[in-house]
Structure 1
Amino acid sequence: MSKLVQGYEVVIGFETHAQLSTHSKIFSRAPTAFGAEANTQACAVDMALPGTLPVMNIGAVERAIEFGLAINAHIAERSIFARKNYFYPDLPKGYQISQFEIPVVQGGEVSFFLEVGKETVRKTVRLERAHLEEDAGKSLHEDFIGQSGIDLNRAGTPLLEIVTQPDMRSSEEAVAYAKELHKIVTWIGICDGNMQEGSFRCDANVSVRKPGAPLGTRREIKNLNSFKFMQQAIDYEVRWQIDQIEDGHAIQQATVLFDPDTGETRAMRTKEDAADYRYFPDPDLPPLVIGRDWVERVKGEMAELPRVMAERFVKDYALPEQLANAITSEQPKAVYFENFYKTLLQNLADQSHLMEACAKGAGWAMVELAARLNTFGIAVHECPVSAEGLAAVVTRIIQGHISHSAAKTVFDLLWNASGDAISNEGQLSVVDEIIKNKGLMQMNDAGELEKIVDEVLSISSKNIEEFKAGNTKALNSLVGLIMKASKGKANPGQVNELLKKKLT
């Protein structure tokens, strides 16, 4: 599925820092809340005062275990912490506590769907590792007074660094992977995923090569804080590297930043290798030992994973795989639609072709709901129409009581109605009352419908001739005339059947 760019193959790997959702830091009891006044959430351990020692936060470990389980990785029974040595003003100790040789999470994979031309394909990215580490502080540069300051509030915040194999071959794949990873960590609740606040920070390692050639020299694009900028940065970097190579220049390994104002990347520093950090085991922290009983307990407490739920939706509700994956993109949305499906099945228990009808109804419901939520800028859990209310509307569509057009009108009225909670039976009654009061009931009387069809055919000789001459669009014109004559109440399916019967 590689896409060549000017005859070059693009190779992308990701390193993502997910800030773990603990209330305290990874090696101290200082709080991790975002937005506090500078240096008010840094204790003696975070500031590396003499005599202080780190103590492991069990909550951070359990979140790492949850992630490992979510991606089918190996959870190391024994992992160790190391000191990553480098000097920077916002790194109080002069080193960062991380994991190097033996990470807590090893292997695993992330799968997602990708649009390639007119096809939807499934892509899998292999993960190399995910390891625990502490965050550094933050340097603040006040240009208007010409000074810099250090805020250590973030120092010691727990991170899970998630590293992939170089399996991605385009910016589209990279963005799709990042979105899926974001979905996983937010779904299981180990990270809030706020990219603007730095809770989910992505670094993309980008290189290019001729097909079949060894991997090229990579450049790392740091701190991509939106999916839009991620794609722009990778696309620019790919073009830049190809231009450099074509002009006869060698690519130097480097760390670069993306400037969204110019749409360009710029070098920040030459890229260091592991040897430059002089890793060695941290003598203040014992090995992290994780027993199988601990892993099983965490596994038993985890919610159903999105991929598992999507597979169940395909099996139990006959949903297309792509639709099931879209519905499980966010946990609140998945819960809403789970309730919707259960109600729909309850309403249509005596219907034939039930699962097919549910799948079609769910597709309509998702499109309408997504459009309405987007228009009003609200989340699904804030939706004024309950899952049971939406199921009532779709029930009447499937039963032939209302057309899709009329259903939109009913949905609009439900949206603007009182938000009082009522039973499913009550929702059906409300929908039926709207249909009755607004005169939206679809015409299903075969005799009455046939009379309208005959009247339209009697004055549509030109359309009839065109249809018999092989112009299939003429049939659509006839359907439109009949729908107009019936004031939109005719059942389009029945209209099509009647027309084909009379014209062939």
Structure 2
Amino acid sequence: MAAKLIQGYEVVIGFETHAQLSTQSKIFSRAPTAFGAEPNTQASPVDLALPGTLPVMNKGAVERAIEFGLAVNSHIAERSVFARKNYFYPDLPKGYQISQFEIPVVQGGVVEFYLGEEKKSVRLVRAHLEEDAGKSLHEDFVGQSGIDLNRAGTPLLEIVTEPDMRSSDEAVAYAKELHKIVTWIGICDGNMQEGSFRCDANVSVRKPGEPLGTRREIKNLNSFKFMQQAIDFEIRWQIEQIEDGFAIQQATVLFDPDTGETRAMRTKEDAADYRYFPDPDLPPLAIGRDWVERVRADMAELPRVMAARFVKDYGLPEYDATTLTQSKAMAAYFEAAATASGQPKLASNWVMGEISRRLNAGDVTIDQLPINATTLAALIKRIADGTISNNAARQVFDALWSGEGPDVDALIEAKGLKQMNDTGALEQIIDDAIAANADNVAQFRAGKEKAFNALVGQVMKASKGKANPAQVNDLLRKKLS
């Protein structure tokens, strides 16, 4: 599908995402990684870069990197190397960051997702292990800044994409899918407010067919809402600059949620500016195939594998299966409802439809639902066996949601929602409707389908909505023919 053009320009977006790994200790020291501690209480001599200290690799961080690589079909390097990324900033105690450059642990891979009902894929360049820096504090100090080194040495997996995205919608959908993957497999808690999942978007524009434009990197996007706003503003700004005759300068920019605008922070460095070289204190990281297979064997069922199973075992469309595996909790809820009801497609429709709508409207998670999967399955059974109509089922659902009781059958009886399944009584209502609506009968026999719908409406009205619509259609057509 051709990329959507904005004012004649094609948008090109790539992502660099820092996922904080869910280890209890830091990547090269035993200091804890818990969030919210008093400043500088979780910084060891290694994190502070005191003379004589040496880094020691955290095995748990490596295993989490392997898990991610397996989740996105990457190549896991049997040998990877750590490098020193040299730059000066007050919250970087060593004057360099230990990262990976030439030989990362995770190479290649792909992230697949849906944008609406269109399937998309974004290629990954790499995912490499590195340590986080500390944090500069400004707001609590008058005329000066403080440095908190609690985060220094926290293990990160930096995930880098090819410039494959062509709109802010696509970029946000990718970020959400990546967030789902790292939280699903448990390598990252995904808390964007605490900085556990931070995205940098590289944005450029160009005329179709021209070389890639100069990119500007929007740093530290910590919500999907701000991510979309920042990218949209940056796209408009770059197009306006080019149209006004100005060249885009490579830069790192920040997004201000209060103004909805990006602003330049500094000129953007290239790899050569960091003077990478292998870290002499860390030997190459060796990952044997047996280690990779042990990690694979211990991993939970991946979302894409579960989605494929839903298609195979339950006969769901691929779109349904992918949507239902957006979270472990939603997938488990659907599977329980589908198994208990014996109606997987109906269960899928309810979970993707009414359940999801209520969750979004109430800003709650599926774990907080007032209707459990067993109760939903009981409701679905009554739709499938013709006891109630879809409209009546929504009334029962409303009652269940508001806490009127967990017994579906009791609610159906109490509210008088049971469909009329007495063929003799229904035939009498249909005969009366035909006799009372001669004009509609004549129009239908003349080929006007709308007249048939009007007759169905009359029958449903006469039955006070209790007639089975499918049964009404069948009987009415037989009598009119």
Normalised TM-score (structure 1): 0.91
Distance 1:462 1:153, change over 3 A: farther
Report the Cα distance in structure 1 between the residues aligned to 2:356 and 2:430, rounded to whole angstroms.
36
| 1:441 to 2:418 alignment | yes
Amino acid at match of 1:176: A
Q: CA deviation at 1:489?
A: 1.2
Aligned pairs (5 A) from 1:111-260? 111-115=112-116, 120-142=117-139, 145-260=142-257
SS in structure 2 at match of 1:337: helix
Report the Cα distance in structure 2 between the residues aligned to 1:135 and 1:121, rounded to whole angstroms.
36
Any stretches of 5+ residues in structure 1 without a counterpart? 346-356, 420-426
Q: CA deviation at 1:471?
A: 4.9
Amino acid at match of 1:146: G
Amino acid at match of 1:94: G
| 1:388 to 2:385 alignment | no
Aligned to 1:450: 427
Q: Is residue 479–residue 496 contact of structure 1 (8 Å, CA) maintained in 2?
A: yes
Normalised TM-score (structure 2): 0.95
Report the Cα distance in structure 2 between the residues aligned to 1:473 and 1:195, rounded to whole angstroms.
53
Q: CA deviation at 1:144?
A: 6.4
Mean Cα displacement is larger for which, 256-265 or 432-441? 432-441
Q: Is residue 365–residue 390 contact of structure 1 (8 Å, CA) maintained in 2?
A: no
Report the Cα distance in structure 1 between the residues aligned to 2:434 and 2:243, rounded to whole angstroms.
67
Distance 1:417 1:247, change over 3 A: closer
Q: Is residue 323–residue 352 contact of structure 2 (8 Å, CA) maintained in 1?
A: no
| 1:13 to 2:14 alignment | yes
Report the Cα distance in structure 2 between the residues aligned to 1:466 and 1:138, rounded to whole angstroms.
77
Q: CA deviation at 1:412?
A: 3.5
| 1:369 to 2:355 alignment | yes
Aligned to 1:352: none
Aligned to 1:398: 384
Q: CA deviation at 1:362?
A: 2.5
Q: Is residue 204–residue 221 contact of structure 1 (8 Å, CA) maintained in 2?
A: yes
Report the Cα distance in structure 1 between the residues aligned to 2:240 and 2:416, rounded to whole angstroms.
65
Report the Cα distance in structure 1 between the residues aligned to 2:169 and 2:363, rounded to whole angstroms.
26
Report the Cα distance in structure 2 between the residues aligned to 1:121 and 1:185, rounded to whole angstroms.
23
Distance 1:403 1:39, change over 3 A: same
Amino acid at match of 1:64: A
SS in structure 2 at match of 1:489: coil
Report the Cα distance in structure 2 between the residues aligned to 1:374 and 1:19, rounded to whole angstroms.
27
Q: Is residue 365–residue 394 contact of structure 1 (8 Å, CA) maintained in 2?
A: no
- Deviation track 1:409-455 (CA, whole Å, cap 9, x = no partner) reads 33334445599xxxxxxx8xx33333233322211122211211222
Aligned to 1:78: 79
SS in structure 2 at match of 1:142: coil
Amino acid at match of 2:359: L
Q: Is residue 334–residue 347 contact of structure 2 (8 Å, CA) maintained in 1?
A: no
- Deviation track 1:355-404 (CA, whole Å, cap 9, x = no partner) reads xx531343134322223334444321232322122111101111111111
Mean Cα displacement is larger for which, 274-283 or 142-151? 142-151
| 1:501 to 2:470 alignment | no
- Deviation track 1:202-244 (CA, whole Å, cap 9, x = no partner) reads 1111111111111111111111111122112112111211121
Distance 1:170 1:393, change over 3 A: same
Aligned to 1:45: 46
SS in structure 1 at match of 2:225: helix
Report the Cα distance in structure 1 between the residues aligned to 2:435 and 2:36, rounded to whole angstroms.
73
Distance 1:453 1:96, change over 3 A: same
Q: CA deviation at 1:339?
A: 1.5
Report the Cα distance in structure 2 between the residues aligned to 1:300 and 1:240, rounded to whole angstroms.
48
Q: CA deviation at 1:458?
A: 2.8
Q: Is residue 60–residue 158 contact of structure 1 (8 Å, CA) maintained in 2?
A: yes
Distance 1:365 1:105, change over 3 A: closer
- Deviation track 1:451-482 (CA, whole Å, cap 9, x = no partner) reads 11222333334544554565544443433332
CA-based RMSD of the aligned residues comes to 1.9
Report the Cα distance in structure 2 between the residues aligned to 1:161 and 1:225, rounded to whole angstroms.
15
Aligned pairs (5 A) from 1:250-399? 250-345=247-342, 358-399=344-385
Distance 1:395 1:275, change over 3 A: same
Report the Cα distance in structure 1 between the residues aligned to 2:442 and 2:89, rounded to whole angstroms.
82
Mean Cα displacement is larger for which, 312-321 or 56-65? 312-321
- Deviation track 1:175-222 (CA, whole Å, cap 9, x = no partner) reads 111111111011101111111111111111111111111111111111
Report the Cα distance in structure 1 between the residues aligned to 2:9 and 2:216, rounded to whole angstroms.
16
Distance 1:251 1:376, change over 3 A: closer
Aligned pairs (5 A) from 1:81-120? 81-115=82-116, 120=117
Q: CA deviation at 1:325?
A: 0.9
Report the Cα distance in structure 2 between the residues aligned to 1:43 and 1:277, rounded to whole angstroms.
25
**Count of residue pairs the alignment pairs up:** 480
Q: Is residue 361–residue 398 contact of structure 1 (8 Å, CA) maintained in 2?
A: no
Amino acid at match of 1:502: K
Q: CA deviation at 1:268?
A: 0.8
Report the Cα distance in structure 2 between the residues aligned to 1:201 and 1:136, rounded to whole angstroms.
13
Distance 1:222 1:466, change over 3 A: farther
Q: Is residue 346–residue 380 contact of structure 2 (8 Å, CA) maintained in 1?
A: no
Pick from 477, 484, 490 the counterpart of residue 461 of structure 2: 484
Amino acid at match of 2:192: M
Distance 1:470 1:219, change over 3 A: farther
Any stretches of 5+ residues in structure 2 without a counterpart? none
Report the Cα distance in structure 2 between the residues aligned to 1:264 and 1:465, rounded to whole angstroms.
65
Report the Cα distance in structure 2 between the residues aligned to 1:149 and 1:280, rounded to whole angstroms.
30
- Deviation track 1:54-97 (CA, whole Å, cap 9, x = no partner) reads 11111111100000000000000110111101000111111100
